[in-house]
Amino acid sequence: MIDSTSDITPQMAKVMGNVHIMPLTVSFGNEHFQDGIDITPETFYTRLVHDSNVPTTTQPLPGYVMELVSRLSKETDQILILTLSQKLSGTYQSALYTKKTLESPGCRIEVLDTQLTTLGHGLRAVRASDMAKEGANLDQILEELRKPHNYLAGVMYFDTLKYLARGGRIGKAQSLLGAMLSFKPIITVQDGEVSPVTRVRSHQAGMDYLYNYAASRKNIHYLGVEHANTPEVAESLIDRLGNIFPKEKIIRSRIGPVIGTSIGPNAVCVVAWADA
């Protein structure tokens, strides 16, 4: 199981077969939507820009998670729950409560804070799924996922820090705010919180930075590209990345509404699971 900020879409989860998504909630005023279920990214980003209500987010509904884990515990004897960084959400603590409540001798439940979000978080589920299909047990999967994969957070380009600042999750990227009038930020997630990487002067410079970031990685096992609302930009970047990694194996995704409340439109992210 993994939460929806991983940007593992329902379609991706269906193909993977052994992954289930816990949707967080995004709200515009009194309207509440489950991330990836009740609202599409297209609708969300349009509303984000034009709606007078500032969207808010909450962790997965406890009843939904309890019901999902309860059902799965009748189908399997091992469940792994992956959550985004507990510095960004209460999802991890809720998952721990679920484990305490529902774990039994007949079903082992493990909870892991990946200290990440977006597709870097999601690639943990991809790796766990692949290992499970190859016959790895839960302890082997946990050992792999707990290794310090320093490059898994990836890097993200976007137009403005105003959404991140407005949502209160700007973290160490606060230091970039005063210099953003003529620059575009590049950020990452480090030690579980948003952290600045650099700043660039133009969109093209940002795409060059993302490409060069991936190109500098050694022995890439998984490579992913995701965007908020600019599919043509993402596909152009994927075309370039085909020079360093098989294009057909590049994982494509969308930055969902919950993370979208903080990063705003026009964001693009590259994530690489690599040896260095």
52-66, 105-119, 160-174, 177-191: which range is least confident on average?
160-174
Closest to 93 measured CA to CA, from 57, 142, 59: 59
Instruction: Band the pLDDT of 218: cuts 50, 70, 90.
Output: very high
pLDDT at 4 over 70: yes
pLDDT at 167 over 60: no
Instruction: Band the pLDDT of 137: cuts 50, 70, 90.
Output: very high
Domains of the chain: 2-24+59-145 (3.40.50.10170), 155-274 (3.30.1180.10)
**Whole-angstrom distance between the N-terminal and C-terminal Cα of the chain?**
27
Residue 118 backbone class (left: φ over 0; alpha: ψ -120 to 50; beta: rest):
left
List the beta bridge partners of residue 157: 186, 268
pLDDT at 172 over 60: no
Distance, CA of 70 to CA of 65 (rounded, Å): 8
pLDDT at residue 261, rounded to an integer: 92
Tokens at 97, concatenated: 């409560």
Distance, CA of 83 to CA of 90 (rounded, Å): 9
pLDDT at residue 163, rounded to an integer: 81
- Condensed to tens digits (0 to 9), the pLDDT of residues 89-125 reads 999 999 999 999 999 999 999 999 999 999 999 999 9
